[in-house]
Amino acid sequence: MADLMSKTALVTGGGTGIGFGIAAKLMEANAQVTIAGRREDVLNEAAERLDASVSSSGNIKVVCCDVTDALAVRNAVEVAANDKGVLDIAVANAGIGAGGPFLTMTDETLRSVLEVNVVGAFNTIQAAAETMRSSGGSIIAISSIAGALGGRFRAAYASSKAALDMLVRSAADELGGFGIRINSIRPGVVESEATAMMFEHMPHIIDDYKKNMPLGRVGEPEEVGDAVVWLAGSGSSWVTGQNIAVDGGHTLRRAPDLEPAIRARMGDEEYSKLSKPGSGPNG
């Protein structure tokens, strides 16, 4: 485990799921962590849980922030920085998902996903990088295997994560001269609040995920956090511009089959109007 003593870190979307796991691991590595999100009650509850579980002695702060608001993100960076204005680590984790047939997807859905997952990450990376120009630092964006695998019924989400990965690569190329390292992590399916419905009501889809993972199991938020800690520390000092899969090997195979869930949601009759026979992942 890297030692991030005296390092300051900002985690957007840090109140739940993967963001919570990332914050916990950063705190275990002795970083001073600020979690950001839109819901103050969720953030405060998360901070209490983190403080108790990690025994951090108050080594956690919270700040309300909508990542699509550039000024709010800059304020979050200021809150997370130390008294000298230094922010060492920024994790652009906040994101949303959307799934459904391409022919029924609206431009409003596409815009909303891109606004949070791409523009929100851009705001976070830019604000953090501005602060890091004089001292260097590490920025990690949380992408998804969807950005590499794509997949049916995931056009908006997969496109947003592919764009995020390229944003990371471009920013890393441009900002390396300031000693700023920028990478992304592509998690596979992780059991969290965001995926709870799928785990509870769609076990066949979870089974399909597992079937396409060489390690044969889903991930935990803290396992993504371990990868973040590595990218934040000195052990990755020569790593930048990379999109790193933390997915049990899922990207070695294929995207999950979401057809049963979409068919159940729409009904057989409506679904049949949008999909030709034999067009599924297994032909």
Beta-carbon count within 10 A of 253 CB? 12
CA distance 225 to 221: 6
Beta-carbon count within 10 A of 214 CB? 10
Decide: helix, strand or coil at residue 273: coil
CB contact at 8 A, 158 and 105: no
Q: Work out whether strand 137-142 and strand 89-92 pair parallel, antiparallel, or are unpaired.
A: parallel
CB contact at 8 A, 151 and 255: yes
Q: Is the dihedral of CA 252, 192, 142, 223 positive or negative?
A: negative
Task: Tell me, yes or no, if 209 is annotated catalytic.
Answer: no
Closest by Cα among 173, 57, 154, 162 to 117: 162
The catalytic position among 157, 159, 164, 184 is 157
- CA 103 vs. chain centroid, Å, equals 27
CB contact at 8 A, 77 and 88: no
CB contact at 8 A, 48 and 55: no
CB contact at 8 A, 242 and 249: no
In sequence order, which residues have a C-beta less than 8 Å from that of residue 256 and are 6 or more positions away?
A: 151, 189, 205, 208, 209, 212
**Which residues are known to be catalytic?**
157
